[in-house]
């Protein structure tokens, strides 16, 4: 009885918070999925572009550097049809040979039919090879890379499906080199303006923060509500969850009436193929998601980090080789009816605003 009362009170509170919100197209807010039996607090319902309607959390996975590869496919194999993710993660940059990348993405998507429809979540670098000494966000801001950005936007438009795009993601990370908040804001806005000029209506704009960076002041990087559809945050270390700036970011997102997507999540420093990390990372992570109604998307990085010299101490997060105990516990969590998984195209697209 106590659980039911708490659920009803939270639902009423969230509807009050969301009253009068919308996605800019005056689309009616839908109260889908609030009658489920779930351990999760009822989600916000802001009506943002490509936000799931009502009480859902988008389920995503990846990440792939060159199209949809075994990283995503192996994860799908573990989760099965019932809990197949509805988002695949990728990365690109204006200076890349993105036409080859796009063909690889389309080839990967072709494996999955319209009965297993997938959205995309794409991080866009504003630098070369993640090198802070070779960032070009100032050139984007000044319009000097309009041709390259427009060409990239045409590629993203050509996917002809919802794309959650993160321009200059992890904007506060010293590893990116976006040291000037004013320049970053202008670069983000220019990217958005060019998307409008290109007619890339299939993009939702995510503004992505990393709580572990030295620079914790996120507001000085904020382009403005009119240019941002979602706020986004990346969670790697278990300690990231407890940080004051993490909590501040989520509460401020709610004040701005923006849903939040965890666009990168991985059990940093744990080897799940050896049974490590469930209590230390996963339980803490899912408790974090459960208790924050503003979180409406989460994307898991299914990588063996030790394959990369720069991430030797990050562990092994591959579900396909994880212990049976971890896989079973993970699947039980994702089986909660609050999670929105892949479905046929008509059903899945009908459950998000603005598409």
Reduce the secondary structure of the chain to three states and give it as a string: CHHHHHHHHHHHHHHHHHCCCCCCCCCCCCCCCCCCCCCCCCCCCCCCCCCECCCCEEEEEEEECCCCCHHHHHHHHHHCCCCCCCEEEEEECCCCCHHHHHHHHHHHHHCCCHHHCCEEEEEECCECCCCHHHECHHHHHCCCCHHHHHHHHHHHHHCCCCEEEEECCCCCCCCCCCCCHHHHHHHHHHHHHHHHHHCCCCEEEEEEECCCCCCCCCHHHCCCHHHCCEEEEEECCHHHHHCHHHHHHHHHHHHCCCCEEEEEECCCCEEHHHCCCHHHHHHHHHHHHHCCCCEEEEEEECCEHHHCHHHCCCEECCHHHCCHHHHHHHHHHHCCCCEECCCCHHHHHHCECCC
Asked if residue 139 is part of any domain, the answer here is yes
Q: How much is the pLDDT for 27?
A: 79
Name the residue with higher pLDDT: 72 or 14. 72
Asked if residue 152 is part of any domain, the answer here is yes
Q: 4: pLDDT confidence band, cut at 50, 70 and 90? A: very low
Residue 39 reports pLDDT greater than 80: yes
Name the residue with higher pLDDT: 164 or 16. 164
Residue % of the chain over a pLDDT of 70: 91
CATH number at residue 251: 3.20.20.80
Residue-wise pLDDT for 123-153, tens only, equals 999 999 889 999 999 999 999 999 999 999 9
Can you say whether the dihedral through the CA atoms of 164, 298, 235, 96 is positive or negative? negative
The whole-model pTM stands at 0.93
Can you say whether the dihedral through the CA atoms of 134, 138, 144, 147 is positive or negative? positive
d(CA 132, CA 283): 34
Residue 21 reports pLDDT greater than 50: no
Q: How much is the pLDDT for 322?
A: 98
Q: 65: pLDDT confidence band, cut at 50, 70 and 90? A: low
Asked if residue 115 is part of any domain, the answer here is yes
Q: How much is the pLDDT for 12?
A: 41
Residue 338 reports pLDDT greater than 50: yes
Residue with tokens 């089986």: 335
Please check whether residue 258 is in contact with residue 22, taking contact to mean a CB–CB distance below 8 angstroms. Answer: no
Residue-wise pLDDT for 228-243, tens only, equals 999 999 999 999 999 9
Asked if residue 226 is part of any domain, the answer here is yes
> What pairs with residue 90 in β-bridges?
64, 122
Q: How large is the average pLDDT for residues 166-176?
A: 98
Asked if residue 355 is part of any domain, the answer here is no
Asked if residue 54 is part of any domain, the answer here is yes
- Number of domains forming the structure of the chain: 1
Q: How much is the pLDDT for 104?
A: 86
For the chain, the average pLDDT equals 92
Q: How much is the pLDDT for 100?
A: 80
d(CA 338, CA 319): 21
Residue 10 reports pLDDT greater than 70: no
Tokens of 205: 């704009």
Asked if residue 83 is part of any domain, the answer here is yes
- The domain in which residue 161 lies consists of 2-350
């Amino acid at each position: 009885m106590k659980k039911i009362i708490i659920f009803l009170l939270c639902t009423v509170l969230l509807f009050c918070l969301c009253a009068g919100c919308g996605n800019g197209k005056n689309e009616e807010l839908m109260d889908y999925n609030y009658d489920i039996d779930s351990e999760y607090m009822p989600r916000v319902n802001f009506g943002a572009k490509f936000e799931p309607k009502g009480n859902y959390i988008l389920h995503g996975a990846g990440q792939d550097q060159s199209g949809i590869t075994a990283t995503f496919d192996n994860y799908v194999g573990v989760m099965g049809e019932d809990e197949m993710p509805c988002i695949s993660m990728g990365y690109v940059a204006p200076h890349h040979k993105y036409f080859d990348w796009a063909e690889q993405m389309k080839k990967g998507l072709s494996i999955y039919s319209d009965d297993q429809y997938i959205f995309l979540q794409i991080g866009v670098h504003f630098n070369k090879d993640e090198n802070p000494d070779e960032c070009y966000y100032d050139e984007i801001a000044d319009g000097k890379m309009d041709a390259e950005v427009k060409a990239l936007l045409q590629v993203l438009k050509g996917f002809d499906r919802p794309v959650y795009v993160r321009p200059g993601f992890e904007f506060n990370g010293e590893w990116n080199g976006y040291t000037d908040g004013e320049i970053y804001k202008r670069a983000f806005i220019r990217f958005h303006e060019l998307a409008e000029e290109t007619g890339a209506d299939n993009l939702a704009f995510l503004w992505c923060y990393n709580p572990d960076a030295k620079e914790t002041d996120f507001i000085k990087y904020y382009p403005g509500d009119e240019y941002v559809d979602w706020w986004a945050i990346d969670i790697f270390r278990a300690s990231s969850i407890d940080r004051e700036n993490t909590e501040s970011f989520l509460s401020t997102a709610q004040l701005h009436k923006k849903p939040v997507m965890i666009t990168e999540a991985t059990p940093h420093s744990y080897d799940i193929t050896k049974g490590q990390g469930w209590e230390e990372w996963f339980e803490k992570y899912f408790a974090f998601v459960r208790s924050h109604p503003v979180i409406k998307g989460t994307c898991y990085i299914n990588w063996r980090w030790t394959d990369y010299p720069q991430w030797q101490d990050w562990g092994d997060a591959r579900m396909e080789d994880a212990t049976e105990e971890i896989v079973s516990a993970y699947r039980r969590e994702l089986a909660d009816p609050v999670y929105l998984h892949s479905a046929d195209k008509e059903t899945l697209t009908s459950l998000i605003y603005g598409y």
